[in-house]
Amino acid sequence: MSTKFQRVRGTRDLLPEDNIKFRFVESTAHKLSLLYGYGEIETPIFEFSEVFHRTLGETSDVVSKETYTFNDRGGESLTLRPEGTAGVARAFVSEGMAQNLPLKFYYSGPMFRYERPQKGRYRQFKQVGVECLGIESPLADAECIAMAWDLLNQIGIAGKCHLEINTLGDAESRANYRDALVAYFGQHKEKLSADSKTRLEKNPLRILDSKDEGDRALIANAPSLHDHLNETSKKFFDDLMKAIKTLGIPCEINQKLVRGLDYYCHTVFEFVTTELGAQGTVLAGGRYDGLIEMMGGPKTPGVGWAAGIDRLTDLVPAEKLQKSHSLLAIIPADDIGENEALIVAHKLRAHGFHCEMIISGKMGKRFQKADKMGATHALVLGESEVKAHHIAVKDLKSGLQENLSVDELIKKIKH
């Protein structure tokens, strides 16, 4: 087959059985967002490149290696969104929302990164996420983390994940820490990877996120950010940890956790699992108090998280996806029954019932197909049933059969 008629590497076709899982996760997240007071927002899947390149950091892997950036016919540089936060922040600024703070937003949709495809990681992938704008208190961070924990619980995977959390401190703390990192890594510059040598000049905190084995050996003995926190940053993190403890959410502090984007400050966190191989992070986020100001808006605190639906669905247990409604298999026994079956199916669907007509094969095979489909009842219609104005209704679990009119059947099933 020509490569032009195959999937592009790193993409996937979501078949009906896949979308059952995706819809379950998305609908659960959406319902939960309403309980927490988040309104749904939808931003374009592409923005002017500066929206992402400037805010995420030129030295981040996302910008330097992974964005899909192109010039449109007007010569403008555009980028397919690699994540959701920057687009929401841009919308906040361009739509003039500063007078309505605080604001809470929920979003869901496709993101794009040119990554090496592997299990749970695709170049086009779906995320759900939330952003809380205008609240400086660490209680906003705690509520955000609680919502993430509730989502993992409700989709049945909290037992497979654990929370890792860290603080990056405020701007003053990070400036002090930056000086310490430059001094330390500067002594070992010849051992750093090429990427980390660039980061040493532009953003040394990014070195802590390196996956290079040589870098990791140096990172193990690097200075600790916690030793360079000022009192304001220490209190913020202490208050957050008390709130998380009060909520009963199990977590561990990981001082090497910095996240992959430049706009974070104070809180950073990840829910990770050991059941997806190397791609262990299923939900992550943090605080970004300077992001909107960086985009030309007013100083506005923010905190949020995003989760990759592709990875979440790989962990969702099958029992969570059981159908909540009955499937009715309608089996016409002859030509007269076929026409009546069409009318009955239409009427039942109008009342909200899931119906499937089985019109091919011998009767025994049709019943087998109904059972395989997971139908609870088989509705048989032939010339005799049409003349008698009823339907032969067979319970496929008990084997019991009775004759019912359409109205009687509707009442019985609803009951």
- Which pLDDT score is estimated for 2? 60
- Which pLDDT score is estimated for 322? 66
- Which pLDDT score is estimated for 278? 65
Residue 223 lies inside a defined structural domain of this protein: no
Query: Is the pLDDT higher at 363 or at 4?
Result: 363
The answer on 394 and 264 residing in a single domain is: no
The answer on 160 and 101 residing in a single domain is: yes
Residue 243 lies inside a defined structural domain of this protein: yes
Are the CB atoms for 28 and 154 separated by under 8 Å?
A: yes
The answer on 383 and 276 residing in a single domain is: no
Residue 215 lies inside a defined structural domain of this protein: no
The answer on 348 and 269 residing in a single domain is: no
Are the CB atoms for 146 and 249 separated by under 8 Å?
A: yes
Count Cβ atoms below 10 Å from residue 289 Cβ, excluding itself: 18
Task: Starting at the earlier edge strand, list the strands of the sheet with 103-112.
Answer: 39-40, 103-112, 124-133, 302-308, 281-287, 265-273, 161-167, 251-253
- Which pLDDT score is estimated for 214? 87
The answer on 393 and 314 residing in a single domain is: no
When pLDDT is cut at 50, 70 and 90, the band that residue 186 belongs to is: confident
Residue 137 lies inside a defined structural domain of this protein: yes
The 10s digit of each residue's pLDDT in 11-28 is 999 998 899 999 999 999
The answer on 68 and 53 residing in a single domain is: yes
Which domain does 409 fall in, by range? Answer: 324-414
Q: Which residue has the tokens 């040493």?
A: 200
Phi-psi region of 96 (alpha: psi -120 to 50; beta: other; left: phi over 0): left
CA distance 148 to 270: 10
Q: Residue 330 belongs to a domain with what CATH number?
A: 3.40.50.800
Identify the domain boundary among 319, 354, 385.
319
Query: Is the pLDDT higher at 214 or at 164?
Result: 164
Average confidence score pLDDT of the chain: 90
Residue 63 lies inside a defined structural domain of this protein: yes
The answer on 237 and 90 residing in a single domain is: yes
When pLDDT is cut at 50, 70 and 90, the band that residue 323 belongs to is: low
- Which pLDDT score is estimated for 203? 79
* CB contact set of 70 (below 8 Å; sequence gap of 6+): 77, 78, 79
**DSSP letter at 3?**
G
Identify the domain boundary among 285, 319, 353.
319
The stretch 186-212 carries a mean pLDDT of: 83
- Cis ω before 102 (30° cut-off from 0): yes
Q: Where are the alpha helices (DSSP H) in 325-390?
A: 335-350, 363-372, 383-388
When pLDDT is cut at 50, 70 and 90, the band that residue 61 belongs to is: low
Residue 195 lies inside a defined structural domain of this protein: no
The 10s digit of each residue's pLDDT in 333-377 is 998 999 999 999 999 999 889 999 999 889 999 999 998 988 989
Residue 67 lies inside a defined structural domain of this protein: yes
Are the CB atoms for 341 and 332 separated by under 8 Å?
A: yes
The 10s digit of each residue's pLDDT in 262-318 is 678 899 999 999 887 766 899 999 999 989 998 999 999 999 999 999 999 999 998
Count Cβ atoms below 10 Å from residue 343 Cβ, excluding itself: 12
Rg, the chain, Cα only: 27
The answer on 388 and 270 residing in a single domain is: no
Identify the domain boundary among 319, 343, 374.
319
The answer on 363 and 297 residing in a single domain is: no
Residue 30 lies inside a defined structural domain of this protein: yes
pLDDT of residue 55 exceeding 90, the answer is no
Count Cβ atoms below 10 Å from residue 252 Cβ, excluding itself: 10
CA distance 217 to 212: 9
The 10s digit of each residue's pLDDT in 147-184 is 999 999 999 999 999 999 999 999 899 888 888 888 99
Looking at the 3D structure of the chain, how many domains does it have?
2
SS3 state at 170: coil
Residue 386 to residues 59, 333, 341, 361, 389, Cα–Cα distance (Å): 73, 11, 10, 21, 5
The answer on 408 and 282 residing in a single domain is: no
- Which pLDDT score is estimated for 213? 87
The stretch 323-327 carries a mean pLDDT of: 69
The answer on 23 and 163 residing in a single domain is: yes
When pLDDT is cut at 50, 70 and 90, the band that residue 54 belongs to is: confident
Q: Residue 273 belongs to a domain with what CATH number?
A: 3.30.930.10
Q: Where are the alpha helices (DSSP H) in 351-397?
A: 363-372, 383-388
Q: Which residues pair with 233 in a beta bridge?
A: none
Q: Do the strands 302-308 and 327-332 form a parallel or antiparallel pair, or are they unpaired?
A: unpaired
The answer on 371 and 236 residing in a single domain is: no
